[in-house]
Amino acid sequence: MACPDCDLLQRIPPIPPGDKACCTRCGGVIARKPRGSRDLPLALAITAAIVFVIANTSPLMDLSAVGRSASTTVVGGALEMFREGQQLTGILVAFCAVIAPGGYIAFMLTLLLGARRTPVPLWVGAMLRWVHHFETWSMLEVMMLGILVALIKIAQLATVHAGIGMYAVGALIVLFPAIVVTFDIRELWQRLEWDDVETPAGTIAGNLAADRAI
């Protein structure tokens, strides 16, 4: 395979479980072999789906000042931004805090279930491609820190209590990397069925195209 960071061609030797392979030129991690069962990421994804529902339905925090009280959820925060005239920012917050992590869990759950079939259906590959984009834009850990800063700011003015939603978001922050670490993406790609049409290797046309690209 070619290193995604520097394009150096290299052969990857069998990796012992729990280990990883690094590029010989740029040192980037190019493959890893997770320890543990194939079902572990599925179990984690199911847990994450349940926790995600809790995180988005229960209040993040309650605030009380002079006999008045208010509470908010993740979606509520985005909605409030939308209502206050910051539509674009509201949409962005909703995307990074709800849609991207939700999409990640939903796609991961579906493709892990699909991956249990043999042969692995083609749509699993298409989903696997999308999962990466959701992962990039899902910012739960950043949101958590943002909420904490907001909490401390508000705490000067009113009494605030962390709600169940807050703990659920905390659990998701741990679950997301756990899914990534236990999921053997390389093995799944290798099991994926695709129409194997051999193309002639080493053609001049291919090399010319390569010259132009560099």
Q: Looking at 16, 117, 119, 211, which residue binds other proteins (CB under 8 A)?
A: 211
Q: If binding is defined by CB under 8 A, does position 8 make contact with other proteins? A: yes
Q: How many residues bind other proteins (CB under 8 A)?
A: 87
User: Footprint of other proteins on residues 76-115 (CB under 8 A)?
Assistant: 76-81, 84-86, 88-90, 92-93, 96-97
Where do we find the tokens 């010319």? Answer: 208
Q: If binding is defined by CB under 8 A, does position 9 make contact with other proteins? A: yes
DSSP state of 98: I
DSSP state of 121: P
Alpha-carbon gap, residue 42 to 53, rounded angstroms: 17
Please, are residues 75 and 98 in contact by the beta-carbon 8 Å criterion? Answer: yes
* Cβ at position 55, least distance to other proteins in Å: 14
Q: If binding is defined by CB under 8 A, does position 166 make contact with other proteins? A: no
Q: If binding is defined by CB under 8 A, does position 187 make contact with other proteins? A: no
Strand partners, 31: 21
Please, are residues 151 and 162 in contact by the beta-carbon 8 Å criterion? Answer: yes
* Cβ at position 81, least distance to other proteins in Å: 5
Q: If binding is defined by CB under 8 A, does position 120 make contact with other proteins? A: no
Does residue 119 have a cis peptide bond before it, meaning omega lies within 30 degrees of 0?
yes
Q: Looking at 40, 46, 54, 154, which residue binds other proteins (CB under 8 A)?
A: 154
Helix/strand/coil for 70: strand
Closer CB to other proteins, 51 or 127, in the complex: 127
The tokens for 135 are 């992962």
Closer CB to other proteins, 166 or 179, in the complex: 166
Q: If binding is defined by CB under 8 A, does position 21 make contact with other proteins? A: yes
Please, are residues 123 and 107 in contact by the beta-carbon 8 Å criterion? Answer: no
